[in-house]
C-alpha cells in the first residue's frame, strides 16, 4: 500500500516539474494533458487507499529522517487514515476535474504551461498538508499551498489588481501563520514532539490553560487560511485569479485546510470546549456576515466567494461544537458543489468576454443550457434542498447547533440558510433568466467545449448523490474521530429539517418570484443597509484607514529618515571611504616595476617592524 501512498503524493509534483520545463515556451497541449493524467493517477491511488483504509487499516510510513538535532527529531512521515484519505480523495478528485477544465479554460492564455505547473504544485502541497503525520509537515504543506495560492492569484501578474490581491492574500495568511507557528511551538515546548499520535496521547496531561493557548493559536492559523473574520478580506479579492484557481484553491481545498486542521487537532479542542464555543460562534457570525454581503454584490465570482466564506463558517460551527465528522462531511460535499458552481461561473465569464457583472447578463439559459443546468444543480445543493448533497451536511450542522443548546447559533445558521438560498437563486435568475441585457453590449455568448462540460458532470453527479453516503461516511470517519452524540428527539429533528428546508425553499421562492418580475427597484441602492453591505461593511475601508495608511506613513518615515539618513548613510560612508581609498591606492598600481619594488620594500619594512615590536605573549 505504501506504493500507492507515494504515487498519490508524488505524481502531482512530477507533473508540475515537467510542466515547469515548458514554462517559458508557448502553449503546449501536452503539459495540460500530462499533468491532468498524473493528477488522475493520484486520484486513482487515493481511491485504492480509501478502499484499503476502509478495511480498518492505516498506512503509516516514514520516508526518511528530516530534521534530527539534539532531542528534536522530525521525520518525513506520512499517514493515510480515515481523515486524510477523505481529504486526499476530495482534493484529487476536484483537482483532476479542475485540471481538465483548465485545458479548455486557459486555451488562449499565453502562459498555459506555467499555469499547469503551478496548479499541480498546489495539489502536491495540499497532499503534503493532509498526509503529513506531524505538525511540521502540515506546516510545510500549509506554506506550500499559501505560496501556490499567491502564485496563482497573481497569475496575471501584469494586472495591478491581481498582484495586489495576491500580496494581500499572502500577507493576511502570514498573520494566521504566525499564530499557527506559535501553536506548534507551544506544542513542542510542552510535549516535545510534533507527531500527531504522541501529541494527542500526551495532551490530556497538560495544564488546561496551556491547552487553551495551543487551541487559540492553532485556530488563528486556521482563521488565516480559511479566511474567517477578521482575516476574511483576502478571499473575495483573491477572485482576481483565473477561475479554475478560484474553484480549486479558494473554494474546494485550500481554504478548507483550516477546517481540516481543527478536525485533525480535534483531540486538543475536545479538552477546551470554551475555545470550541468561540470557534463555533465566530463560524456562525461569519456564516451570516458573509451571506449578507453576497446578497447585494454584483460580481459573479465574488458572490460565490462570499458564499464560500459563509459555508466555511458552517464548517467551523460543526468543528467548534465537536461534531468533527459533520464538519468533514460538509467540507467534502461543499467541495463538490462549490467547485461546480465556480467552474460554471468560469464558463459564463468566458461567454461574457470576461465580464463579471451579473446585472449585465440575463437570459443566458438559451445560449448555454448545460452550464445553466449544472450551475442550477450546484445552487440547489448549496441551498440545501433534499435530496442534494448540501441538504444532508448543512442540516446536520443546524441539528448540532440545536442539539448543543446554543439556540442563538442555530438561529444565525437558520437565517444564513435562508440567505444562502436567496443569493444563490438571485445569481441563477440574474444570469440565466430574464431579459437579455448582454445583447446591449454586443456580446455573443457561446457554450464551452463539450469536454469541459463532460468533465463537470462527475461533480454534478456527486453534488446530487454525495448526501446519501452520510451513514457510511459517519461510520468510516468515526473510527478515528470522536463521535458526536445526538440527544434530540426524532420528532424535534424532523421538525428542524422541515423548518430549515422550508426556510431554504422560501428563500429560493422569494428570489425566483422577485427576479422573475424584474427584481428590486433601483432606489434600493440608496438604502443605508444596501450601501453597508455592498461596501462589505466598510471593513476593507477600515483596514485601509486604520492599518494600511498608518503603516504606510510609518514605512515612509522609516524609509526617508531611518533608512536613507542613518542606515544607508552609514553604509555609504563605508563604501565611500573604501572607494576613495581605492582611488588613492590605485596610483600604487602604476604598472612600473621599479615602484612595485619600492612598495615591496615598504612591505618588508612593515613586516620587520612587526617582527621586532610585536611579541605575542606566549
Partner 1 sequence: MITLTHYLVLSAILFSIGLVGVMKRKNLLMLFFSTEILLNAVNIGFAAVSHYYNDLSGQMFAFFIIAVAASEIAVGLGLLVLWYKKTGSVDLDSLQTMKG
Partner 2 sequence: MFEVIAFYTFSILTIIMFGIVVLSKNALYAMSALAGGMIFIAGFFFLLGAEFLGVVQIVVYSGAVMALYAFGMMFFDTTRDVKENIHYKKVLYSLFIASAILIVIIMSAPIYSANIEAFYPAVIDGVGNIQMVGLILFTKYLIPFELAAVMLLVSMISGILLVSKRMEMNLTEEDHYEEKGEII
Where do contacts with partner 1 occur on this chain (CB under 8 A)?
A: 586, 589-594, 597-598, 601, 604
Cβ at position 606, least distance to partner 1 in Å:
14
Are the beta carbons of 236 and 301 closer than 8 angstroms?
no
Q: If DSSP states are collapsed to H, E and C, what string results for 137-206?
A: HHHHHHHHHHHHHHHHHCCCCCCHHHHHHHHHHHHHHHHHHHHHHHHHHHHHHHHCCCEHHHHHHHHHHC
Among 601, 614, 617, 618, binds partner 2 (CB under 8 A): 601
64 lies in the binding site for partner 2 (CB under 8 A): no
70 vs 591, beta carbon nearer partner 1: 591
The option from partner 1, partner 2, none interacting with 611 (CB < 5 to 8 A, set by class) reads partner 2
Per CB under 8 A, does 598 bind partner 2?
yes
Considering only 586, 612, 615, 617, the residue that binds partner 2 (CB under 8 A) is: 612
CB contact set of 539 (below 8 Å; sequence gap of 6+) = 230, 232, 233
Contact of residue 608 among partner 1, partner 2, none (CB under 5-8 Å per partner type)? partner 2
Q: Which residue has the cell 448543512?
A: 394
CB of 9 to partner 2, least distance (A): 60
The window from 130-138, 200-208, 292-300, 608-616 that contacts partner 2 (CB under 8 A) reads: 608-616
Residue 444 binds which of partner 1, partner 2, none (CB < 5-8 A, kind-dependent): none
Give the closest residue to 239 by CA, choosing from 290, 300, 286, 158.
300
CA dist 179 and 163 (Å) reads: 25
**Least distance (Å) between residue 583 CB and partner 1:** 13
Kindly tell me which of 471 and 615 has the beta carbon lying closer to partner 2: 615
Residue with smaller CB distance to partner 1, 518 or 582: 582
Minimum separation from the CB atom of position 603 to partner 2 (A): 10
CA distances, 196 to each of 79, 184, 201, 329 (Å)? 10, 11, 8, 22
The smaller minimum CB distance to partner 1, of residues 529 and 610, is found at 610
User: What's the maximum distance between 2 C-alpha atoms anywhere in the chain?
Assistant: 109
The answer to whether residues 152 and 98 touch, using CB atoms and an 8 Å cutoff, is: no
**Beta carbon of residue 609, minimum distance to partner 1 (angstroms, whole number):** 15
CB 124 within 8 A of CB 16: yes
Q: Which residue in 375, 343, 446, 356 sits closest to 106, CA to CA? A: 343
Q: Does 609 bind partner 2 (CB under 8 A)?
A: yes
Taking CB under 8 A as the rule, does residue 159 contact partner 2? no
Beta bridge partners of 74: 67
- Residue in the structure block whose three cell numbers are 445553466: 372
Residues 202 to 241 in contact with partner 2, rule: CB under 8 A? none
Of 529 and 597, the one with the shorter C-beta distance to partner 1 is 597
Enter the C-alpha cell of residue 113: 504551461
Question: Which of 64, 611, 614, 617 touches partner 2 (CB under 8 A)?
Answer: 611
One DSSP character per residue, 24-36 reads: TSSP-HHHHHHHH
Overall residue count recorded for the chain in this entry = 618
Residue 468 DSSP one-character state:
G
Does 201 interact with partner 2 (rule: CB under 8 A)?
no
Contact residue for partner 2 among 495, 524, 529, 608 (CB under 8 A): 608
555 binds, among partner 2, partner 1, none (CB under 5 to 8 A by kind): none
Q: Cβ closer to partner 2: 26 or 591?
A: 591
- What is the C-alpha end-to-end distance of the chain, expressed in Å? 67
CB of 618 to partner 1, least distance (A): 23
Are 60 and 134 spatial neighbours (Cβ–Cβ below 8 Å)? no
User: What are the residues binding partner 2 (CB under 8 A)?
Assistant: 598, 601-602, 604-605, 608-609, 611-612
Amino acid at each position: 500500500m505504501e506504493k500507492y501512498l507515494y504515487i498519490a503524493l508524488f505524481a502531482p509534483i512530477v507533473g508540475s516539474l515537467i510542466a515547469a520545463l515548458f514554462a517559458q515556451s508557448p502553449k503546449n497541449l501536452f503539459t495540460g494533458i500530462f499533468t491532468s493524467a498524473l493528477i488522475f493517477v493520484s486520484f486513482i491511488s487515493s481511491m485504492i487507499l480509501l478502499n484499503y483504509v476502509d478495511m480498518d487499516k492505516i498506512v503509516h510510513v516514514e520516508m526518511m529522517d528530516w530534521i534530527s538535532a539534539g532531542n528534536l527529531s522530525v521525520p518525513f512521515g506520512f499517514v493515510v487514515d480515515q481523515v486524510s484519505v477523505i481529504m486526499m480523495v476530495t482534493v484529487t478528485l476536484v483537482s483532476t476535474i479542475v485540471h481538465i477544465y483548465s485545458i479548455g479554460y486557459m486555451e488562449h492564455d499565453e502562459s498555459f504551461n506555467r499555469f499547469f505547473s503551478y496548479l499541480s504544485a498546489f495539489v502536491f502541497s495540499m497532499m503534503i498538508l493532509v498526509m503529513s503525520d506531524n505538525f511540521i509537515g502540515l506546516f510545510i504543506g500549509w506554506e506550500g499551498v499559501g505560496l501556490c495560492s499567491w502564485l496563482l492569484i497573481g497569475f496575471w501578474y501584469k494586472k495591478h489588481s491581481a498582484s495586489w490581491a495576491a500580496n494581500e492574500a499572502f500577507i493576511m495568511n502570514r498573520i494566521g501563520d504566525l499564530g499557527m507557528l506559535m501553536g506548534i511551538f507551544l506544542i513542542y515546548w510542552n510535549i516535545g514532539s510534533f507527531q500527531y499520535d504522541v501529541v494527542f496521547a500526551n495532551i490530556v496531561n497538560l495544564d488546561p490553560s496551556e491547552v487553551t493557548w495551543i487551541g487559540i493559536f492553532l485556530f488563528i492559523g486556521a482563521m488565516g487560511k480559511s479566511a474567517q473574520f477578521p482575516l476574511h478580506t483576502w478571499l473575495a479579492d483573491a477572485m482576481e485569479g483565473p477561475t479554475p484557481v478560484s474553484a480549486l484553491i479558494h473554494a474546494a481545498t485550500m481554504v478548507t485546510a483550516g477546517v481540516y486542521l481543527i478536525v485533525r487537532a480535534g483531540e486538543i479542542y475536545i479538552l477546551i470546549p470554551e475555545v470550541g464555543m468561540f470557534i463555533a460562534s465566530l463560524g456562525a457570525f461569519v456564516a451570516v456576515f458573509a451571506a449578507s454581503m453576497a446578497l447585494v454584490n454584483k460580481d459573479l465570482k465574488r458572490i460565490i466567494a462570499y458564499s464560500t466564506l459563509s459555508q466555511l463558517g458552517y464548517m467551523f460551527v460543526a468543528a467548534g461544537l465537536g461534531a468533527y465528522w459533520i464538519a468533514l462531511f460538509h467540507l467534502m460535499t461543499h467541495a463538490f458543489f462549490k467547485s461546480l458552481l465556480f467552474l460554471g461561473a468560469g464558463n459564463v465569464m468566458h461567454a461574457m468576454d470576461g465580464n463579471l457583472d451579473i446585472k449585465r447578463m440575463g437570459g443566458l439559459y438559451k445560449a448555454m443550457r448545460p452550464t445553466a443546468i449544472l450551475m442550477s444543480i450546484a445552487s440547489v445543493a448549496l441551498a440545501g434542498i433534499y435530496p442534494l448533497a448540501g441538504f444532508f451536511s448543512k442540516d446536520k450542522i443546524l441539528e448540532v447547533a440545536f442539539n448543543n443548546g446554543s439556540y442563538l447559533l442555530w438561529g444565525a445558521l437558520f437565517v444564513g440558510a435562508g440567505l444562502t438560498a436567496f443569493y444563490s437563486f438571485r445569481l441563477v435568475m440574474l444570469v440565466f433568466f430574464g431579459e437579455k441585457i448582454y445583447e446591449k453590449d454586443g456580446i455573443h455568448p457561446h457554450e464551452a467545449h463539450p469536454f469541459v462540460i463532460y468533465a463537470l458532470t462527475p461533480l454534478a453527479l456527486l453534488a446530487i448523490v454525495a448526501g446519501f453516503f452520510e451513514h457510511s461516511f459517519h461510520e468510516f470517519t468515526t473510527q478515528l474521530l470522536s463521535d458526536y452524540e445526538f440527544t434530540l428527539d426524532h420528532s424535534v429533528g424532523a421538525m428542524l429539517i422541515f423548518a430549515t428546508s422550508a426556510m431554504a425553499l422560501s428563500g429560493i421562492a422569494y428570489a425566483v418570484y422577485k427576479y422573475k418580475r424584474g427584481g428590486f427597484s433601483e432606489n434600493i441602492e440608496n438604502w443605508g443597509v444596501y450601501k453597508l453591505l455592498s461596501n462589505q461593511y466598510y471593513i476593507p475601508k477600515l483596514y485601509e484607514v486604520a492599518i494600511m495608511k498608518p503603516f504606510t506613513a510609518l514605512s515612509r518615515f522609516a524609509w526617508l529618515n531611518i533608512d536613507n539618513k542613518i542606515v544607508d548613510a552609514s553604509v555609504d560612508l563605508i563604501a565611500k571611504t573604501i572607494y576613495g581609498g581605492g582611488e588613492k591606492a590605485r596610483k600604487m598600481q602604476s604598472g612600473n616595476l621599479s615602484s612595485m619594488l619600492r612598495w615591496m620594500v615598504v612591505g618588508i619594512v612593515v613586516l620587520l617592524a612587526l617582527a621586532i615590536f610585536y611579541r605575542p605573549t606566549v
